[in-house]
Amino acid sequence: MSVNWVEVKRAFFPIKDYEDFQKRWQASLSYAFVKKTYNYSMPRLAEFTRLCLGGDPRGRYGDYANKLIQIINELQQAEVKDILELWSHVENRQKFGDFSKESGIEAVDLAMLLKYLSYWFIPTEKYLSGLIRPADHLEAAVQALRSAGIRTNLELLQQGLTAAGRKALAEKSGLPETVITDLTNRADLSRMPWASKATISNIIGAGYGSLAALAKAEPEKLYSDFFSYGKAIGKNLKMGNEIESSHRIAKIVPAILE
């Protein structure tokens, strides 16, 4: 079974190509907390996919979820135990092609699953400046952390997972612990798929300053708080993708902050 790399590239789109995917995962899996937290078994990954995509209230991803779960089941039948073992089979083009041939799983299907995992599951690096709006009061804090060697969400999360870690970051950067905690919570919210700076700012502005608080929110109160915040800033934050999806996904994204 030879790999048609043109079709594989098409399946990865909008990821540029296989090397771009490879670079993304290498960067993400270089963080110990990502390796530990996201090393799901295949059955657990299938359940996450069912809840993440299959749980969409408007039913937009039903067929997509079913196809992905089918591929995950094929991986399990090929005796792939977990995410890290999957990565060991696809970490370069040669291994990807060999694994597709040996397992009998179509290369395009593997690419489809890996793209899904890249966008919906494995957290990717984002600059801290991309988590705040222009002229935000946290701009100076982001600059202070950059000077302390921390530029991205994953760097901040790795060092700020615990209260002791956040205290150490405050001492290192000269920032108040409350500011470090605020930025760490923004970085935590950025682990949700497709979470933009606008979505993160709206969640926090509505009164939900952490992923845990969002996950625990009562739906009716959440909607009311979003509407009230939207009115205060002159926007109509309707119940829809931003509110419903963020609340639903927050409940299934693995918790990491202590």
Residue 101 in domain: yes
Look up residue 255 and give its DSSP letter. P
**258 within a domain of the structure (yes/no):** no
Claim to verify: residue 156 and residue 186 sit in the same structural domain: yes
* Residue 105 shares a structural domain with residue 207: no
Q: How far is CA 100 from CA 104, 114, 116, 180, in A?
A: 6, 13, 17, 44
Task: Please indicate, yes or no, whether residues 11 and 110 belong to a single structural domain of this protein.
Answer: yes
Domain boundary among 98, 120, 142: 120
Both 99 and 145 in a single domain? no
pLDDT of residue 133: 82
Rounded to a whole number of angstroms, the CA Rg of the chain reads 19
Question: What is the DSSP track for 128-176?
Answer: GGGGS-TT-TTHHHHHHHHHTT--BHHHHHHHSSSHHHHHHHHHHHT--
The pLDDT value recorded for residue 238 is 63
Residue 56 lies in a domain: yes
**Do residue 112 and residue 152 come from a single domain?**
no
Residues 206 and 242 in one domain: yes
**The predicted structure's pLDDT at residue 100:** 96
Choose the final residue of a domain: 120, 140, 166.
120
Is 101 in the same domain as 180? no
Residue 190 neighbours by CB distance under 10 Å: 25
| CA–CA gap between residue 123 and residue 153 (Å, rounded) | 9
pLDDT for 241 equals 60
* Whether 39 and 23 share a structural domain: yes
Q: What residues of the chain score a pLDDT lower than 50?
A: none
The residue from 79, 99, 120 where one domain ends is 120
Cα separation, 28 vs 32, in Å, equals: 9
Residue 185 φ/ψ, nearest 5 degrees: -65, -35
What is residue 240's predicted lDDT score, i.e. its pLDDT?
Answer: 53
Of 249, 27, 33, the C-alpha closest to 121 is 249
Domain that holds residue 145: 128-250
The verdict on residue 257 lying in a domain is no
Pair 106, 161 in one domain: no
pLDDT tens digit sequence for 203-222:
999 999 999 999 999 988 99
Does one domain contain both 105 and 9?
Answer: yes
Residues 156 and 75 in one domain: no
Task: Please check whether residue 180 is in contact with residue 169, taking contact to mean a CB–CB distance below 8 angstroms.
Answer: yes
Picking from 182, 187, 177, the residue whose alpha carbon sits closest to that of residue 205 is 182
Count structural domains, the chain. Answer: 2
Instruction: Please indicate, yes or no, if residue 255 is contained in any of the structural domains.
Output: no
**Both 140 and 241 in a single domain?**
yes
